[in-house]
Amino acid sequence: MICPRCHSQVAEGIKFCGTCGSPLQSPTPPPPPARAAYPPPNQGAYTPPNQGVYTPQNQYEEYSNSMFGNSVPKAELHNPKGPIQIADMTISIDGELVPVVDIMLGNQMPIYFEHHILLWKHPGVQIGFKSLQGAARRFFAGLQIFITEAHGPGNISFSRDSVGQIVALRLQPGQTVEVREHQFLVASGNVDYGFTFVQNAANILFSRTGLFIDQFTARGGEGIVLLHGYGNVFEKMLAPGEALDVEPGAWLWKDPSVQMTVTTVAGSQRGGGILGAIGGLVAGASIVLNRFVGPGRVGIQSMTYHPPTTEGAPQAGGQSNLNLNLGDLF
């Protein structure tokens, strides 16, 4: 077999060129033999039941009939089944307990991703750094200044070291989604990666959200952001003024229209006096709760998020990364 891109000799049955990384199409299989009509024509028309076909629940959320219409990004939850096509890339989600995001990159649209989540890649995929806008502000805020960028063609895959589910957020030009820090996996190159400050000092001190929330905005065409939610991921849609109190660490993403404040477990009670407050405290895992007020949507994960341990830190059985010498990097 000859690679159509670089004209190198490739063995039969190989999916990717070992020289340039281009995908190779297998020879077209012969058409299946003709099958007899079912049932016989003299028994009348009959459509057999659709057996063995499974359509996963909530595979692709449609909001055309909701109050938000098409003004919010569409979310594909529960490890989307079937390939997702964005620009010249194809995204597939494999696995169940610890899902893998597998991306076939073309020549045009790059992707960027967080550090330490790369699982495998084809040698033809080029890895580099992508600088972010507002580098000085990000530096003083303690956020990432550089993230990793990948250019095709070729195959590349990602996974986070935790049980969970993948959420795919499709963003049309101008649409924005806000995501909890360190929970995004991959985004297409036409999606801007910024941040916004958490409002309210109580939010910062007690809600375990931190000082900042990641913001992703699509520019110049449809983009995509892939998130890893711990445990199972669910979506709550809030009407204008409707409130939802959520265990801190359990929210994953939200629409910018959803306001986030903080309330105590006792303050979340309708009444009951001191006994009601104690009962609410015993029922909850924290003294405080995040309160989300609509309109908009909130993504919720069933496992509480824990900030990642610094790689090589004593908690992980190693030494602090601050003691790392430059020679150790090569």
Is it the case that residue 293 has pLDDT exceeding 80? yes
Using one digit for the tens of pLDDT, what is the confidence trace for 230-260? 999 999 999 999 999 988 889 999 999 999 8
Residue 212 has a pLDDT of: 77
Direct distance between the N- and C-terminal alpha carbons of the chain, in angstroms, rounded to an integer:
37
Q: Which own/partner contact pairs does 107-110 have at CB distance under 8 Å and 24+ positions apart?
A: 107/152, 107/153, 109/188, 109/189, 109/190, 110/149, 110/150, 110/151, 110/152, 110/188, 110/189
Topology of domain 57-233, per CATH?
A: Double-stranded beta-helix (3.60.160)
Residue 49 has a pLDDT of: 44
Whole-prediction pTM value?
A: 0.66
Range name among 121-130, 158-167, 282-291 with the lowest pLDDT average: 282-291
Show me where the domains of the chain are located: 57-233
